[in-house]
Amino acid sequence: MSWIQTHAGHAFDLIEPAADSICIEDISHALAHLCRFAGHARVFYSVAQHSVLVAERCAPEYARWGLLHDATEAYIADLPRPVKRLPGMEGYRLLEARIARAVAHTFGLPGEDVPAAVKVVDARMLATEARQLMGQPPRPWSNAQPPYEDLRIEPQPPRLAREQFLSAFRRLWPEPGGCGRR
């Protein structure tokens, strides 16, 4: 079995993801229920809320990528960055890249990879979130980007994070469509 059932009831094939099974409602729902930092934040803080904040901090030409930069996590969950980079995790990274390409194609994102400019915003957001939502680190983090000093994060419950994610999506993609590119 190489598929999962999504919130909207689709069969999402992990090996051969199809555009008609990639649904913004599924992405928003799943990301709103995934907690950043593998659940180790002091309070619940969702990947959906993180994604909206990244999109808001991106230059306009990168905002769409900013919102969907973690969309793969809706289908294969999130692994902490150090785990993803371990030797032996090549299969996970290949699966993540395949799903990312399908998401990019489905939503008309330019290129197949998250642009470097979005990765910088994501890294700065990580530093900001770590400072505000995690306890005192037992050793220094190796994040090379500074936190956003002007941002105060107010963690939202999943329902609100989902609504904010969908609202951001509607602003960035004003053309109609939900699941796939209708």
Q: What would the DSSP string read from start to end of 36-97? A: SGGGTSSS--BHHHHHHHHHHHS-GGGHHHHHHTTTTHHHH----HHHHTSTT-HHHHHHHH
State the DSSP code for 141: -
Residue whose structure tokens are 């400072």: 131
pLDDT of residue 179: 64
CA–CA dist 103, 165 (Å, integer): 16
Phi, psi of 90 (to 5 degrees): -60, -40
Token output for 109: 């994102």
Q: CA of 95: how far to CAs of 6, 77, 117, in Å?
A: 17, 12, 23
CA–CA dist 6, 96 (Å, integer): 17
CA–CA dist 158, 117 (Å, integer): 27
pLDDT in tens, the chain (182 residues): 899 999 999 999 999 999 889 999 999 999 999 999 999 999 999 999 999 999 999 999 999 999 999 999 999 998 888 898 899 999 999 999 999 999 999 999 998 899 999 999 999 999 999 999 998 888 888 777 999 999 999 999 999 999 999 999 999 998 865 565 43
pLDDT of residue 180: 53
Q: CA of 177: how far to CAs of 107, 122, 128, 168, in Å?
A: 10, 27, 33, 14
pLDDT of residue 53: 98
pTM, to two decimals: 0.93
CB 151 within 8 A of CB 52: no
CA–CA dist 109, 112 (Å, integer): 8
pLDDT of residue 143: 74
- Domains by residue range for the chain, with CATH: 10-172 (1.10.3210.10)
Token output for 85: 């980079």
pLDDT of residue 182: 36
CA–CA dist 63, 57 (Å, integer): 8
